[in-house]
Amino acid sequence: MPSAYKRSPTQPVFILLSLSRGGASLYPTLAFKATDPTVLRILVSIGGVEIDHFGLWHDKGANAVSQPLAGVVDPVTGLTFPDLNNPATELTQTNKILPEPCNFISKSLPRCSVIRPTSTQQGGAVATVKAFTDDGLFIGQSAAFLQLSMQLAVAADSVERGF
């Protein structure tokens, strides 16, 4: 892991936020594919906790870097803590604790609030591994780890429940 990440006191916050964000999509997406009742119970049970974590981090984590800390530069690494409230818009303000209404399942249905996508394309295992990789959560991992993670993700996403 780059030394800038090791020295950043907020890095664990953003890693946990990323994991909860991904889990809030991954577990319900995989629940649609579960063919074993025990696996379904595990996915649904863990998924609720991840959704709760996502809500907590969405509310608290997003506000962690706001004034007066926003814009502070780490003198050792040069890492800048961005102002997540600048520019503040209705869709990006960090103190929102509930999801915004959006199109869900079909544009012909009324807009509703959902936490995370549950389609395989947007919230499945491959999408999660790609997002974690793109976000830098796997920096320092071996090529074998990345390859195995993607192989497992593809296998998980290819399961079909049958309805």
Q: Measured between alpha carbons, how far is 110 from 132 in angstroms, rounded to an integer?
A: 31
Residue 4: pLDDT above 50? no
Interval 117-137: pLDDT, tens = 778 888 888 988 998 888 888
Which of 51-55, 98-102, 132-136 holds the top average pLDDT? 132-136
Residue 98: pLDDT above 70? no
Residue 89: pLDDT above 50? yes
Residue 7: pLDDT above 60? no
Neighbours of 54 (CB within 10 A): 22
Cα–Cα distances in angstroms (integers) from residue 123 to residues 86, 111, 112, 138, in the given order:
28, 19, 18, 18
As given in the structure block, the two tokens for residue 41 are: 């119970």
Interval 8-42: pLDDT, tens = 444 554 555 566 566 667 778 888 888 888 888 88
Mean pLDDT of the chain: 76
Section 38-55 average pLDDT = 79
